[in-house]
Amino acid sequence: MIVWGREPQERLAKLLGMTTKRDAYSARRTAAPDDLQIDIAGVGALTIPVSAAQARKLCAIARPARYGMGEQTLTDPRVRNTWEVPKSRVRIDKQWRDRTLAPMLAALRDDLGLPKDCRLKAELHAVLVYAPGQFFVPHQDSEKSDAMVGTLSLILPGSSRGGCTGGRARRL
């Protein structure tokens, strides 16, 4: 989730009106995972790429992922079939945030054509674990806060094959 400002809809409309890149509504950046340290309670420090053993552990502590529809939060595997580890279990190293994520957010701001004085901030919502065949139907992300202006997805490489079923890990 990317957050900026106090009156998000008005400020976003103003910012979009100021942009020179009218077609820039998404951007992609790649960073080496060398200094990325993610610790998850009940799993430990993640290896990069995420191993099959860690994928099983993640699924074992996860719950079926929920999604928002209006003011409701729902669970329906026909709409969203994946696993969610709540942010309360996740710790991301501050040095990585300062050294890698902050410059990446500035570059994404530029890629999206937002003004230089705009400062994007990333807030963790959850860690999702997708096994083969799992999905989230085409959708528009719901706002997680009034200041949210976009969604930032951090995709980690993994070595896992297989998946988790029924809330319990299965052999991968």
pLDDT of residue 24: 61
Is residue 41 assigned to a domain? yes
pLDDT of residue 164: 47
pLDDT of residue 144: 75
pLDDT of residue 145: 78
pLDDT of residue 143: 76
pLDDT of residue 22: 53
Is residue 87 assigned to a domain? yes
Is residue 168 assigned to a domain? no
Question: What range defines the domain where residue 57 resides?
Answer: 2-10+36-92+120-160
pLDDT of residue 62: 96
pLDDT of residue 146: 78
pLDDT of residue 69: 86
- Sorted by sequence, the CB contacts under 8 Å of residue 95 that are 6+ apart come out as 35, 37
String of DSSP letters for 25-51: S--------TT--EEETTTEEPPSSBP
Going from the first residue of the chain to its last (172 residues), give the mean pLDDT of each consecutive group of 10, the final group possibly shorter.
58 64 74 89 93 91 92 92 96 92 93 88 91 87 78 80 42 30
Is residue 20 assigned to a domain? no
Is residue 99 assigned to a domain? no
Number of domains observed in the structure of the chain: 1
Q: Coil, strand, or helix at residue 83? A: strand
- Sorted by sequence, the CB contacts under 8 Å of residue 107 that are 6+ apart come out as 29
Token couple for 153:
């997805």
Is residue 144 assigned to a domain? yes
Is residue 130 assigned to a domain? yes
